[in-house]
Amino acid sequence: MKVMKFGGTSVGKPERMHHIVSLVSKETEPVIVVLSALSGTTNALVEIGELIAKGDRHAAKLAIDKLEKHYHAFIKDLVKDKKAVDKAKAIVAEHFEFLNIILKISFSESLNKDILAQGELLSTKLFCVYLEEQGIEHALLPALEFMSIDHYDEPQIGSIKVKLSQLLKQHKAKKIFVTQGYICKNSRGEVDNLKRGGSDYSASLIAAAINASVCEIWTDIDGMHNNDPRIVKKTVPIEQMSFEEAAELAYFGAKILHPASIWPAQQYKIPVKLLNTMQPKARGTLITEKAGSVGVKAVAAKDNIIAIRIKSSRMLLAYGFLRKIFEVFEKYRTPIDMITTSEVAVSLTIDNSTHLKEILKELEPFGTIEVDKNQVIISVVGNEISKTEAMVKKLFGSIMNIPVRMVSYGGSPHNISLLVPAEYKNQILQQLNKGMFGL
């Protein structure tokens, strides 16, 4: 059995959904199709939630109506047969009625998660209506019945495995299964999600849970590129990379993959393929335990980084100092991305500012604290890059005009990270493209 995940742009137009059905129905082995919301929907739902939270119900109502119109236009071209049209209309009516009811209820964070879930619920149900119209046997597996996270927001892989296999057993003869990406239930039994871009994570978790032959992530580009195509003009796809390399790139900003989406596949040794819905024949990127080649593969940028420097002469020859600092971050469940130390100072970075105030307050007794907001981490990723001849020279030689605030080298043999002020992001990505890849 395999997993095929299709992102927002891959399902965003009726003809794209038709195209996906033609791709899926060509499969010889059973497949679990994981779908995102239609492109733009989750952004619209985020906006609706924010407007309701602000108390601007009029604007929220306008945004709901605008989105509903979009769905009416979508189903018009999705299905033709009267029975299918009526069914699609009823689905749209049901979900927009729900949003309109929410307008009248007082706002809460858990209600907001219900709002955000509507996108994936709609896309999967409409997809199934089209499958039915085409006479293609299938079963919808509701993600809210098997996908769950614990009270630390970590997926419960054991329980996902059990529940999903029970659901699959109910449809033994079927070959096409459809489910929602992104959405899940939390430890309080409420609707929740795996954070923005989380459908990749759902796909990888499902692939791990069913021990899939492959986890295919279908998107709008022909695989992982060597640099961010949204910023750099000339980028090229990478044919093969290791789980470690892919995980570093995803974590450090390559938007094509959700930051946490690699570990489930890696842990269960499921190959991941990144494929292009618009060019299904393109090679894409294969991610397995094998890196394929040694050397620099790609560069990525992670935004909204905060650097914290703690200066203290008490650090000199002391032990236990770092532990005490780390404990502060642990207490506020705030991950540290980069860290560098000198004899009298330690610099580290975080991207989650939720508890920044409290963290800084607790760090005060340790020494003088300096905070630099608006930084980006630029990661240069590749198999055993530190062994690559002249790599460091090439890297720094190509960015001599850029002020580098921190460097992290040697933490993993696959990554060198640089911290630079955000205003240099585009420039450094472009210069590295030339300097490291000759593009």
**8 three-class SS:** helix
Query: Does 41 help bind ligand ADP (rule: CB under 6 A)?
Result: no
Which one of ligand ASP, Mg ion, ligand ADP, none interacts with residue 10, CB within 5 to 8 A by kind? ligand ADP
Q: Whose structure tokens read 């992104």? A: 182
Query: Does 230 help bind ligand ADP (rule: CB under 6 A)?
Result: yes
Q: Which of 352, 344, 340, 337 is nearest to 368 (CA)?
A: 344
Shortest spacing between CB 320 and ligand ADP, in angstroms: 40
- Dihedral sign from CA coordinates of 141, 142, 148, 154: positive
Q: Which is nearer to ligand ASP, 256 or 359 (CB)?
A: 256
Q: Which is nearer to ligand ASP, 36 or 433 (CB)?
A: 36
Shortest spacing between CB 258 and ligand ADP, in angstroms: 8
Shortest spacing between CB 7 and Mg ion, in angstroms: 5
Q: DSSP secondary-structure letter at 302?
A: E
- CA 157 vs. chain centroid, Å, equals 18
- Which backbone phi and psi does 358 adopt, to 5 degrees? -65, -40
Query: Does 382 help bind ligand ADP (rule: CB under 6 A)?
Result: no
Shortest spacing between CB 118 and ligand ASP, in angstroms: 10
b/e code 75-92 from CB counts within 10 Å (16+ = b): beebbeeeebbebbbebb
Query: Does 9 help bind ligand ADP (rule: CB under 6 A)?
Result: yes
Query: Does 432 help bind ligand ADP (rule: CB under 6 A)?
Result: no
Query: Does 429 help bind ligand ADP (rule: CB under 6 A)?
Result: no
Stretch that binds ligand ADP, among 27-35, 220-228, 307-315, 418-426 (CB under 6 A): 220-228
Site size with Mg ion, rule: CB under 5 A: 2
Query: Does 119 help bind ligand ADP (rule: CB under 6 A)?
Result: no
Query: Does 7 help bind ligand ADP (rule: CB under 6 A)?
Result: yes
**Conformational region of residue 312, where left means phi above 0, alpha means psi within -120 to 50, and beta covers everything else:** beta
Which one of ligand ASP, Mg ion, ligand ADP, none interacts with residue 221, CB within 5 to 8 A by kind? ligand ADP
Structure tokens at 357: 């105030």
First to last CA, the chain: 39
- Which residues, other chains included, contact 35 with Cβ-Cβ below 8 Å and sequence gap of 6+? 5, 6, 11, 120, 123, 124, 127, 178, 179, 180, 181, 199
Strands 191-193 and 368-383: unpaired
CA distance 272 to 68: 35
Shortest spacing between CB 34 and ligand ASP, in angstroms: 9
Among 49, 155, 197, 223, binds Mg ion (CB under 5 A): 197
Strands 31-35 and 176-180: parallel
Q: Tell me, residue by residue from 5 to 24, as one string, x for binding to Mg ion by CB under 5 A and - for no binding.
A: --x-----------------
Among 3, 143, 221, 315, binds ligand ADP (CB under 6 A): 221
Structure tokens at 376: 């980006």
Site residues for ligand ASP per CB under 6 A: 7-8, 36-37, 42, 119, 181-182, 196-199
Query: Does 220 help bind ligand ADP (rule: CB under 6 A)?
Result: yes
Query: Does 225 help bind ligand ADP (rule: CB under 6 A)?
Result: yes
Structure tokens at 158: 């054991």
Query: Does 197 help bind ligand ADP (rule: CB under 6 A)?
Result: yes
Which one of ligand ASP, Mg ion, ligand ADP, none interacts with residue 269, CB within 5 to 8 A by kind? none
∠ CA 352-356-359, rounded to 5°? 120
Q: Which of 371, 247, 334, 336 is nearest to 297 (CA)?
A: 247
Helices assigned H by DSSP within 154-212: 157-169, 199-210
Stretch that binds ligand ADP, among 3-11, 14-22, 123-131, 394-402 (CB under 6 A): 3-11
Q: Which residue is nearest to ligand ADP (CB)?
A: 7
Query: Does 260 help bind ligand ADP (rule: CB under 6 A)?
Result: no
Query: Does 417 help bind ligand ADP (rule: CB under 6 A)?
Result: no
CA distance 383 to 294: 5
Q: Whose structure tokens read 């450090």? A: 252
Query: Does 180 help bind ligand ADP (rule: CB under 6 A)?
Result: no
Question: Which residues lie near Mg ion (CB under 5 A)?
Answer: 7, 197
